[in-house]
Amino acid sequence: MADTNPNTRLEAFSDGVFAIAITLLILDIKIPPTDHILTTSDFWLALGRIAPSIFTFILSFVVILISWVNHHGTLKLIHRSSALFIYANGFLLLTVAFLPFPTALLGEHILTDHSAPAVILYESVLALQAISWIAICGAALKDHLQQNERSAVQLRSNRKFGYYGCIAYSILAIIAAWFPLAVAIVTAMIWVFWLIFGMNIREE
C-alpha cells in the first residue's frame, strides 16, 4: 500500500541523520586511562577531567533533540514537498551531522587557554542551523506547502525565531573571541530555556 503522506521518505531519511548524529556524540567521551588511578580519589579526579566532554555531550544532545522535535513539528505543518524545501532540509541536516565535530573540540578545549576557536566554531554551526530554519520555513511559504493559514502563521513565527537565533549566535561567536567560557555557559542556558519552553508549549 502506497504512503499517503508524500513527506514520509523525507522524514524517515531526516530521522536517520538525527539519530546517527546524536549517537556519534557519545563516542568522544572516553573512559579515563587507568594507568595512574591508584585510589578512589584518583578515580574521581580522572572523571572530573572528562567533565567538559560530558557537558558538551549533554548540550549537543539537547540541541539535536530540540531540532528533531522542531523538524517533526514543521513537517506536520505542510502537506507536500518541493525541490527548494528538500534542499533547505538538507542544509539543516548538514548542520546536524556536522555538530559532533565542534562538540568534540569544545569538550577537549573548553577549559584551556585556547578554547576560543572551538567555541566560535560551535556558535557558527548554531548560527548556520538557524539560517537553515529560515530557509526551510521560507521554502514552505514560498511554494505554498502549508496545510492551512494557521500553519502559515506558525511557519512565519518559526522563521522569525530563526532570524533571532542567527543574530544571537553570530553575536555570541564574536564575543567568544574574548570570553569563550562565558559564551559556552550562555549558550547552554539558552538551550535549557528552549527545552523548558518547548515542553510547556506542548503541555498546553
pLDDT at 82: 95
Of the two residues 40 and 188, the one the predictor is more confident about is 188
* Whether pLDDT at 203 is above 50: no
Helix orientation angle between 149-175 and 180-203, rounded to the nearest 10 degrees:
160
**Cα(10)–Cα(88) distance, integer angstroms:** 12
Q: If pLDDT is split at 50, 70 and 90, which confidence band does 47 have?
A: confident
What average pLDDT score do residues 15-32 get? Answer: 92
pLDDT at 86: 97
Sign of the four-CA dihedral 39, 43, 46, 48: negative
Of the two residues 35 and 80, the one the predictor is more confident about is 80
What average pLDDT score do residues 49-66 get? Answer: 95
**Cα(97)–Cα(189) distance, integer angstroms:** 23
What average pLDDT score do residues 4-22 get? Answer: 92
